[in-house]
């Protein structure tokens, strides 16, 4: 049973996470009639179908990452996400299938050469808030907790882990509006963001609890050494030595505003599905009758 009122929320899905998860967990022996792998799109389709069946959202959008090396963050810091291998052609093909599926199901979908899915979700969340809609962000990415206003929710759907504003404080030791500063101080190995070497999440949280923001901490770095936590003196030195790195990291951890995203509420309203487009896609993917029938049933409700 849903814990959200679908009429008060816009559901913003970080689609790429669920596609990658399916790519790594579902066997690559799942292929269509041409022998092309369909494991990632099949896993994503099952996730999306279960979600639609459970939540019946009225407003919804899926955000996709288009490139690992083309975002504006790579212009600021060329090594951003350089630790990740580029997506192979067979996965890129499945990304396009996933976008096609979302469109055929009547759900808004967005991707950008310059901005990442996080930025798209952040922008849409902000834009829909102007219309009185709270956001439920479907993701497994901790970075997106920085978007949470008091009535919003972060939901790792696969693990059914939900966080609201106070849960973020409980887990990370800071409030959502401090998450970008936390990651700027501690770094983020997942995205290859340097942070300040030698400062971890716990130390960063101690510093932000006292100073509130990264800039305030940097401006008062000499006071860090007098704080009551282990390694405070060393943290002060590190903070003073690596101010530029911390500021650069903040540019990478902060979610940006993508002005190309729609501002009108109707843009995220679910539309009627297109049976013809779905049938065509399911034929190319080699989906069997069981999956087809479930999709038709759920989308016709």
34 contacts 97 by C-beta, under 8 angstroms: no
At 179-188, the pLDDT tens digits run 999 999 999 9
* Rounded-to-integer distance, Cα 249 and Cα 194, Å: 7
Coil, strand or helix at 14: strand
- Whether the pTM exceeds 0.85: the reply is yes
Residue 61, both tokens: 């959008």
* Residues 160 and 281 placed together within one structural domain of the fold: yes
At 151-202, the pLDDT tens digits run 999 999 989 999 999 999 999 999 999 999 999 999 999 999 999 999 999 9
* Residues 23 and 157 placed together within one structural domain of the fold: yes
Q: How many Å is the Cα radius of gyration of the chain?
A: 21
* Residues 62 and 92 placed together within one structural domain of the fold: yes
Q: How many domains does the chain have?
A: 2
* Residues 13 and 135 placed together within one structural domain of the fold: yes
User: Could you tell me how many residues make up the chain?
Assistant: 301
76 contacts 251 by C-beta, under 8 angstroms: yes
76 contacts 82 by C-beta, under 8 angstroms: no
At 116-148, the pLDDT tens digits run 999 999 999 999 999 999 999 999 999 999 999
Kindly state the helix (H) or strand (E) to which residue 163 belongs, with its residue range. strand 161-163
Residue 283, both tokens: 């034929």
* Residues 127 and 37 placed together within one structural domain of the fold: yes
Q: Which of 243, 236, 240, 170 is nearest to 207 (CA)?
A: 236
Query: What's the angle, vertex CA 210, arms to CA 204 and CA 211, rounded to 5?
Result: 85
8 — pLDDT class (breaks 50, 70, 90):
confident
Domain assignment present for residue 127? The answer is yes
Specify burial of residue 181 (Cβ count, 10 A radius: 0-12, 13-18, 19+).
buried
Structural domain boundaries, residue 180: 174-253
């Amino acid at each position: 049973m849903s814990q959200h009122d679908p009429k008060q929320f816009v559901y913003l899905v970080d689609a790429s996470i669920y596609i990658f998860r399916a790519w790594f967990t579902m066997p690559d022996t799942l292929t269509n009639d041409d022998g092309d792998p369909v494991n990632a799109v099949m896993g994503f389709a099952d996730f999306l179908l279960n979600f639609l069946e459970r939540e019946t959202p009225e407003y919804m959008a899926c955000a996709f990452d288009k490139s690992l090396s083309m975002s504006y963050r790579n212009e600021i810091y060329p090594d951003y996400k350089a630790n990740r291998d580029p997506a192979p052609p067979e996965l890129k093909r499945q990304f396009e299938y996933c976008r096609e599926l979302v469109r055929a199901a009547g759900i808004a979908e967005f991707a950008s050469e310059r901005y990442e899915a996080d930025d798209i979700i952040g922008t849409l969340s902000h834009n829909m808030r102007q219309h009185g809609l709270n956001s439920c962000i479907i993701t497994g990415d901790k970075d997106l907790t920085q978007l949470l206003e008091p009535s919003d929710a972060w939901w790792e759907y696969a693990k059914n882990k939900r966080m609201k504003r106070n849960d973020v404080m409980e887990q990370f030791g800071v409030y959502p509006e401090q998450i970008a500063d936390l990651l700027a101080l501690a770094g983020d190995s997942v995205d290859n963001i340097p942070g300040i070497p030698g400062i971890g999440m716990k130390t960063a949280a101690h510093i932000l609890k006292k100073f509130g923001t990264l800039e305030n901490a940097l401006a008062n770095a000499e006071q860090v050494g007098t704080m009551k936590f282990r390694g405070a003196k060393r943290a002060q030195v590190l903070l003073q030595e690596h101010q530029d790195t911390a500021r650069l990291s903040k540019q990478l951890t902060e979610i940006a505003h993508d002005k190309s995203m729609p501002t009108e509420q109707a843009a995220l309203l679910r539309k009627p599905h297109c049976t013809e487009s779905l049938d065509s896609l399911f034929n190319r993917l080699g989906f069997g009758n069981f999956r087809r029938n479930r999709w038709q049933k759920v989308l016709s409700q």
